[in-house]
Structure 1
Amino acid sequence: MLDKIKLKNFKKFKEIEISFNKHRNILIGENGVGKSTILEAISLILSGSYSRIESLGVDSLLNVEAVSDFMKSDRSISKLPELIAELYFSDYDGPNPFLLNGKNNTDRTERFGLQLKILPNSEMFGMQIQELLLSESPTFPFDYYKVEFYSFANKSYSSFRKIHNLGFDVIDTSLLKQSYAIKRFVSQSFHSQAANSANEISQEFRQISDDFSKSLYDPDRYKFSDKEKYRLKIKTKSASQFEDILTVHKDNIEIDNMGLGERVLLSIEASLSIQNKTSNIVLIEEPENHLSYLNTKKLVDLIENNTNAKQTFIATHDNMIASRLNLRNVIMIGENKTANLNKLTPATADFFAKAPNSNVLNFILSKNVILLEGDAEYILLEKFYEMTKNKPAFQNDVAIISCSGLTFKRYLEIAKDMDKKVAVIRDNDGDYEKNIVKNYEDYISENIQLFSDCDDNHWTFEVCLYDDNNDFYETEFRKYCGISKKSVLEYMIGDKNKKSSKGHKSESAFSLLKMLESDTDFAKSYVIPDYINKAIEWIK
């Protein structure tokens, strides 16, 4: 299986090294950070396809910054940038392993692996390159670059002359409308269902086709003229002839007429179900595209129950896919850097796999986060932030995420090993020293801070709001909400001494939000609790 990839000057990556998990790899990151590039690099190296690189173009593969830096330099041929992409294998049990094992890699260690290089062809085109670079309007010599595929044993290979048995499938949901993608799925289904009988079936089809061609000129069956110079015959030369006329039906609906979501599931199911080793690596590009919530759950179940020991690489933005397939498999892709979550405790990974409404992927992808413990806080905090900073939180790259108090430590475990600033806003529940200071002392750091009212009498969010804005709540808020007999605070949080009295926390927060949004005077005079102001100031 693939152990790691190293890229130098490959598309947006100047230099990056990513270690892989043995079975499942979930690549996450913001748009444009290079998740798809990683999948493309893997497929290019394994394919050994010169034609694919030619169709993509050297100019689209070579790092733009490296090209720009070179053109700003003295433009010496010896300094022309090279693209290097390497796949290191953790093991290899295929035929002729000696063809892949060696030190022809940038680590200079003896490993199994493959290397793609795109470099200037100075030996053949040195003069032409020199002329381009020294001209009055110098241009970069993309057209004078060459492509090389070599194993770590320094043995060349190509798509026509492979020296390894690592096959791969690429499932790109953006291409599922195209006819060749459907044809590919049908072919996968055929080989999956036919198991080891594919060649036998194709041969029998060839014989049937040949017999039928002969029967066309049987005078006892058809009225074909047998005196013509040119005789008709079914083509049977292609080894894939039988596959070319196959299609797939599900519940009597042909695949061409199925929805895109159904095609996504069928494509992934076919790739994962193939039993032989011709497709032991599966690359899946944003599988959540075109999938409903229930179909995404079906997709997760498909991947979870993959028993064919395939190594999967999944680029995704979906919370469910990332968390349900175990956060320890997550690899976060950033600007020329990565973060692997395989150090998470199994308990935390399992928690997020089972937790409802997980926002964990939003948390991982956000650089600055405010964590809250309730719906009321979540309803109001965006407005409080805007009142303090005169702009929404997202414009300052701050994410606001609501979770239960029991979940805070799970999120903070993820944050401890990441370059992430996290402010936790929570109630002191009547004991600031115990519930805040002692409870979180192992998590507090330069990048992680807890914010709570230190007065034990201000035990919950609503009490803090009420005590800082008493006149407002007893006059304007009471009138707005139609509170007559009971106290405003009891209406908001219920009777503290009665377990059955739950109050109206969310409804009160929503009413306050509408008042603050509709009347600028309320917004100007309303006092935001000090600990919340401190959290907002600290996070940005």
Structure 2
Amino acid sequence: MITKVVIQGYRKFRSFSVAPDAATNIIVGDNETGKSTLLEAITLALSGRIDGRWANEELNPYWFNAEDVRDYLAAYAKDPQTPAPSIRIELYFDSEDPDVQRMRGVHNSLRLDCPGTKLEVVRNPDYDEEFTAYMADPDRLGVMPTEYFEAMWKDFNDTPLRRRPAALGLSMIDSRTIRSKAGVDYHTREILSSFLEPKERAAISVAHRKSRHEMTTSSLGGLNEKVRDGSEDLHDAPLSLTMDQSARASWEAGVVPQVDNIPFAMAGQGQQASIKVALAMKRRAESARTVLIEEPETHLAYSRLHKLIDRVETLAGKNQQLFVTTHSSFVLNRLGLDKLICLRGDTPARITDLDDGTVAYFKHLSGYDTLRLVLATRLVLVEGPSDEMVFKRGYFDRFNKYPEADGIDVISMNGITFKRALELCTRLDRDVVALQDNDGTDAANIVEELKEYLSVNRKMFVGDPALGKTLEPQLVKANGVDHMRTVLGLRPQDNPDTWMPNHKTEGALRILESEQTVVMPDYVKQAVEHFA
């Protein structure tokens, strides 16, 4: 299994490392944080390939980290001897498999004596003169000329690798795109091929060649007689047609799977994605030790996604290590918050000590938008939509802008307990404020029960029970009955004390949009001031 991934200078990652879980890893992050890049890097270091092509064939200037390139160009202007930027991707393994142990060594950035593979992109010394001329050109582009670099795939013994060892089996499924016009992309062909033993593959290949030869001698026989008769005047040697027997015409290229008697390419993209995942997970353990899945939720309705995640959980082998990128809270909740890797720059967040009860809690409430909790840098937790709108009004009155403008996400709990949410925020070290009704309980007792999750950056504010059990009476106490009636646009005979509890969301919306002054209860003011 992969125990550590180290990435230096590759695309988004300048100096990145993460210790993945031995079984399942759920990779989340905002757009452009490097989720796909992480899977690409693992693929490159495991196979030396990307999208079925060798790294040297795919090498391009945008593999290099932009900051590394910018710093190098600035330094080169002062000192041409400055070392050129490079790329290093390392995978550290924990396995007693003899094939893996043969890759043991200390040629890695951590100087650990362990098995591993690495992919390095460095300047090729054979092109020193060309590189110097390129750098001296005043009209050169602000990118690295990859023509003068080379990609080297090696193990930790510094031995070049020519093929992926069998013990490092890899399956890659990208649910977002279907690359092949034939409906089966490179990765899917690799998966299908892995179900066969070498002798079985050879037997099919021989049978395929025989059938093509028979077609040449039978079906094409009459046509070849006509071609020969008409070609004698054009060429000294007779012309004829034959079925292609070269490697380009291998049986793998001509065989495609069917779904309910419909060619794979004609199936819906959601169905194709589900099939790819199922095929990858059902491969023999030795041929699929590492399974990489890009956004399994793509193209799938909720019910289909539910079935797919059930299938992933059922098929996951004890010797398989799974990496899944996702934008779906459902996928995250179902596969387990304790498997989370949250990307943010070069410092990923791992949750390694989340309470088992909290993990199970979110699994059972898999529809909750947990990703908002995970991805927010600063957030406010409130009990429901009415509290959310009132807080936003209080924040706007204080700062003349809504909290979202300052990167603060206000999240309604919608039945989720504050204890579970605050535990998750604590493990991720998030800046958070929680607003809670007292419901007749002493505020100090509520805070005391949650004190292990509270700190300077994590606060809970609860209304004084003497001023009301919930938000609505607290607002009436702070503003007075008459002014609250004006804020809400009520008739003279309407009593805010009885109207507001029966129209919580409507009342909060009127408060948010009212042009009248609204005095916030003290605990709401304290929550707003936390962000001052």
**In 1: Cα distance, 2:293 partner to 2:337 partner:** 17
Equivalent position amino acid for 2:94 in 1 = S
- Check the 8 A contact 1:265/1:299 in 2, yes or no: yes
Instruction: Answer yes or no: is 1:304 the counterpart of 2:313.
Output: yes
Worse-matched range after superposition: 101-110 or 292-301: 292-301
Superposed, which structure 2 residues align to 1:64-213 within 5 Å?
Answer: 64-73=66-75, 74-93=78-97, 95=99, 97-122=100-125, 124-133=126-135, 142=145, 143-158=147-162, 161-163=163-165, 165-176=167-178, 178-179=180-181, 182-184=184-186, 187=189, 190-191=192-193, 197-213=200-216
**In 2: Cα distance, 1:24 partner to 1:16 partner:** 20
* RMSD of Structure 2 on Structure 1 (CA): 3.0
Compared with structure 1, are the counterparts of its residues 252 and 134 closer, same or farther at alpha carbon in structure 2 (3 Å cutoff)? closer
Q: Secondary structure at the match of 1:174?
A: coil
- Please, what TM-score do these two structures have when normalized by structure 2? 0.87
Superposed, which structure 2 residues align to 1:213-224 within 5 Å?
Answer: 213-216=216-219
Deviations 1:96-126 (A, max 9, x none): x45301111111121110111112234x333
Q: How big is the shift at 1:7?
A: 1.2
**In 2: Cα distance, 1:306 partner to 1:421 partner:** 38
Q: How big is the shift at 1:412?
A: 1.4
Match of 1:320 among 330, 342, 358: 330
Equivalent position amino acid for 1:269 in 2 = A
Equivalent position amino acid for 2:406 in 1 = N
Q: Secondary structure at the match of 1:80?
A: coil
- Please, what TM-score do these two structures have when normalized by structure 1? 0.86
Unaligned runs of 5+ in 2: 229-237
Instruction: Answer yes or no: is 1:13 the counterpart of 2:13.
Output: yes
1:245 equivalent in structure 2? 254
Instruction: Answer yes or no: is 1:453 the counterpart of 2:463.
Output: yes
- Check the 8 A contact 1:428/1:456 in 2, yes or no: no
Match of 1:428 among 430, 438, 441: 438
2:233 equivalent in structure 1? none
Compared with structure 1, are the counterparts of its residues 529 and 55 closer, same or farther at alpha carbon in structure 2 (3 Å cutoff)? farther
Compared with structure 1, are the counterparts of its residues 129 and 188 closer, same or farther at alpha carbon in structure 2 (3 Å cutoff)? closer
2:234 equivalent in structure 1? none
1:349 equivalent in structure 2? 359
Compared with structure 1, are the counterparts of its residues 195 and 345 closer, same or farther at alpha carbon in structure 2 (3 Å cutoff)? farther
Compared with structure 1, are the counterparts of its residues 108 and 192 closer, same or farther at alpha carbon in structure 2 (3 Å cutoff)? closer
Equivalent position amino acid for 2:497 in 1 = L
**In 2: Cα distance, 1:63 partner to 1:26 partner:** 24
- Check the 8 A contact 1:58/1:145 in 2, yes or no: no
Superposed, which structure 2 residues align to 1:494-513 within 5 Å?
Answer: 504=502, 507-513=503-509
Instruction: Answer yes or no: is 1:528 the counterpart of 2:523.
Output: no
Compared with structure 1, are the counterparts of its residues 354 and 82 closer, same or farther at alpha carbon in structure 2 (3 Å cutoff)? same
Q: Secondary structure at the match of 1:175?
A: coil
**In 2: Cα distance, 1:287 partner to 1:371 partner:** 29
Match of 2:369 among 359, 376, 382: 359
- Check the 8 A contact 1:428/1:460 in 2, yes or no: yes
Q: How big is the shift at 1:464?
A: 0.7
Worse-matched range after superposition: 164-173 or 61-70: 164-173
Q: How big is the shift at 1:146?
A: 2.5
**In 2: Cα distance, 1:443 partner to 1:417 partner:** 9
**In 1: Cα distance, 2:249 partner to 2:420 partner:** 52
Q: How big is the shift at 1:477?
A: 6.9
User: How many equivalent residue pairs?
Assistant: 515
Q: How big is the shift at 1:333?
A: 1.1
**In 2: Cα distance, 1:536 partner to 1:389 partner:** 9
Q: How big is the shift at 1:306?
A: 1.9
- Check the 8 A contact 2:220/2:242 in 1, yes or no: no
Compared with structure 1, are the counterparts of its residues 155 and 481 closer, same or farther at alpha carbon in structure 2 (3 Å cutoff)? farther
1:257 equivalent in structure 2? 266
Q: How big is the shift at 1:81?
A: 2.5
**In 1: Cα distance, 2:215 partner to 2:130 partner:** 60
- Check the 8 A contact 1:370/1:539 in 2, yes or no: no
**In 2: Cα distance, 1:365 partner to 1:474 partner:** 37
- Check the 8 A contact 1:2/1:22 in 2, yes or no: yes
- Check the 8 A contact 2:5/2:92 in 1, yes or no: yes
Equivalent position amino acid for 2:506 in 1 = F
Unaligned runs of 5+ in 1: 494-503
Equivalent position amino acid for 1:288 in 2 = E
Match of 1:330 among 318, 337, 340: 340
Q: How big is the shift at 1:156?
A: 0.5
Instruction: Answer yes or no: is 1:290 the counterpart of 2:299.
Output: yes
Q: How big is the shift at 1:365?
A: 0.5
Q: How big is the shift at 1:337?
A: 0.7
Instruction: Answer yes or no: is 1:414 the counterpart of 2:430.
Output: no
Deviations 1:382-423 (A, max 9, x none): 344334332222211011111157621112112223341000
Equivalent position amino acid for 1:510 in 2 = E
Q: How big is the shift at 1:293?
A: 1.8
**In 1: Cα distance, 2:197 partner to 2:398 partner:** 65
Q: Secondary structure at the match of 2:308?
A: helix
**In 2: Cα distance, 1:285 partner to 1:24 partner:** 14
